[in-house]
Structure 1
């Protein structure tokens, strides 16, 4: 009898642990959806509280749909792309970096179209380019602009003037 109770209790504990582990559903967002969101940034929104996977985006925040990925939408928060399940408005993908990966075609354009070198003390990812420095636009991606410092390209977020990539 004691063995039956112990086995039953063990089974209940094991099953309960399994159920708790299932509460967090891991969603693998398709790469084309992530690529689309990065290539089509939107105006930033302000979110109160800590933004993390599982966060429910308030109804007052407009979520843009991702055309080739039904069921997913996106917003930008603090320059970071955030992908949301349209079913329940939960965050299912939050970029670790401030700006996400830079599209290869943008890097190719910047490297194939050098501009005059500018003098800046420090150009590292995250640095802000001073307002008195002219930025060269990237025609196919208006989100980006660029400069050359010491003969090397630096890609800049055109809205914030923050450096997002340096060769």
Structure 2
């Protein structure tokens, strides 16, 4: 079981821990227009999934903007998804204000489907724990990072190095 803290306080992450080599669990989240989105909607693509507690906080905003900038050079066969429990309307506003258009923001607020499937729901806060997943075009998990302290940044360099290995 993955153990993380948020502001140095331990949080409970129910659900399934995802590991490298696993078949990527399916999930249903909401697009900014409230339409459902599943893993199958990006079938055949390599996915970098950046998970944040809330886009409207400093580290989460920085993380999403960083992966957005990196998305420009990752190639046409890569989808970068940012998933949080923010409402779809707030995500849309955030992307417009921050001029982010190279990634897709998705909301897990309704069912916590992604959070439970990937073991990232912070039960005490009803937010998602900061994490990064890379899933290849065959839906195999190729990289996993559960960030130990929720207010810290993920290891961008390690994630991007893993992405290069998957795309080559």
TM category, shorter: under 0.3
Greater helix share, structure number: 2
Whose RCO is larger (CA < 8 A, sep 6+)? 2
TM, length-normalised to structure 1? 0.25
Q: Specify the structure having the higher radius of gyration (Cα).
A: 1
TM, length-normalised to structure 2? 0.25
